[in-house]
Structure 1
């Protein structure tokens, strides 16, 4: 979900050049903003003599709409877990069979038979994490392990809260705040969810992706955001801490998939195998600061990631986290109506 971590423009293309002859072709990657390690790309380009272009998007829905429209020119996309089956059912991604690739042996067993891609016939792990609470503790000294930080904000944080503009994450967490279950169609509960979000929104400063730099400048006091961004924010502002909402929070995993209409499918498969190498997976994590699902990558991680509290869910909160399922269309429509109203 992962994740768009700065306010980069949607679909802003960045080409990384190693200055060599590109006799072996190209690879066009469509990924979340500020989520792709330049060092990883340079290494892949040098090893395979392939020119790589990375284009950014800001949400799962943005990526899905762009590819559905056709004529995009991308080879690879990186959808979140609860979107993978949408891509599969619509015939937008190919059955690349990463489970038959040389480096698949490095995928942690936890991430092989996943509900969204059993046996990994379509996707390769990229990064995983969770959405929780980031707080500048120089402003607020109370409990940060609660969704009330953005749903019923303490006075110290009113007008200083950013909320990630991710419909599923926000609605999941708010539904859990009221003790409900994800994919519920309980109209009475959903009215509470809608009313609470509409009530809370005027107390927020933004619903945006540009969070890391805002904590560095202390323009934000809190955020409902992703744990990797929290780690990066703490590196720039030592007062930043990350909280795990005890009422419930969503886990995410973003995975690399080969687009059905890719122009460079063999280079895409090379890249899928490449990122299952532990040293290369560590480059991915070292840049965006999320775990990756590849065994043995830990030994190559940067020192600041080893033991980082943003990456280790405390035991008492582990059961509060859930991976989001893909809700039935009629339920998704209900959620979209709430989200649309919140955007007004």
Structure 2
């Protein structure tokens, strides 16, 4: 009897150890502050898979990390225009999410999108717009144009933050100047550079670290920033006088996507993580935390009331919305030269 119990106990111990090993670990690299402790805790409790999260502050930084070998990351979250670049560079695993049941949860216009037309490499995680947020307690003038950002009035000079990303800065500047995104015309890119150089003396910081940008806006260290809609909402919760603008020139839209880097240590754990994050209730948890828009159907029932009428998340009718593009090699070279010149 005691021998049988010992055998059973040993067998059970081995099976539990096997289950623990099978559960694995998922190493995630994402934009800073993208996951609440609650969503990570829920995933770990539900699956037994441990999660580690590293962060980056630009798509360019992510690209460099993955080119250097990826440091064993299982999931990354690049913006949509970088997905084709990562595929072209052979930096992503093809895992065909479009064939999985959860893919039907994605809103129709983001299923098999232009940056991943077969739904082979990516799943939308969160989306939103990029525009201007400013402190209306300090500035009372017109807010219908990017002019306030690129040619700041005296009360805002020296209190401006610009995102530390050539793509996002160039896209917004191009909208303001009426220049096509990803221009390969040196004269047009020179126009953008001239605009940004004229603006630079009035820029206090170039930063894409969302938490720091919000804190600086709330404290008054800065009073205007090129920023993302959901992050602007979080900043407004800290300082109600902040306002997110919808300029007449339009706003840039972006979609951040979950992908599996080439050479992922635990691709099965990565697939489980992506499927989990694509469920309506879990996506709503992410939206409630980040305040950006969810790409998943059926989240409304789980959303915080404050999000249902937030101006940062509801684009006014008639607003021009332009999705950022994957630039060609010529445009990338010109953009790199522009940024190097601007940062001197």
Return the TM-score normalized by structure 1: 0.91
Q: Partner of 2:246 in structure 1?
A: 244
Cα deviation, residue 99, structure 1:
1.2
Q: Which residue of 2 aligns with 1:205?
A: 204
Match of 2:217 among 190, 215, 218: 215
Q: CA 1:143/1:113 → structure 2, altered by over 3 Å: closer, same or farther?
A: farther
Query: How do 1:156-195 and structure 2 match up within 5 A?
Result: 156-195=155-194
CA contact (8 A) 2:144 2:245 kept: yes
Shift of 1:316: 2.8
CA contact (8 A) 2:186 2:334 kept: no
Structure with bigger helix share is 2
CA contact (8 A) 2:161 2:226 kept: yes
Aligned-residue CA RMSD (Å): 1.3
CA distance in 2 between partners of 1:191 and 1:327 (Å):
17
Alpha-carbon deviations, 1:125-158, whole Å to 9, x = none?
A: 1100111010110001122232112211011111
Q: Does 1:75 align with 2:70?
A: no
Runs of 5+ unmatched residues, structure 2: 1-18
Aligned length: 322
Distance in 1 (CA, whole Å) between partners of 2:327 and 2:217 is 34
Residue 83 of structure 1 aligns to a residue in which SS? helix
Which of 277, 280, 305 matches 1:278?
280
**What is the CA-CA distance between 1:211 and the residue it aligns to?**
1.0
Give TM-score scaled by structure 2 length.
0.91
Residues 177 and 212 of structure 1, relative CA distance in 2, 3 Å threshold: same
Corresponding residue of 1:102: 101
Question: Of the two, which has the highest radius of gyration?
Answer: 2
Match of 1:264 among 263, 266, 269: 266
For residues 44-123 of structure 1, what are the structure 2 equivalents within 5 Å?
A: 44-70=43-69, 72-123=71-122
The answer for unaligned runs of 5 or more in structure 1 is 1-20
* SS of residue in 2 equivalent to 1:174: helix
Q: Shift of residue 334 of structure 1?
A: 0.6
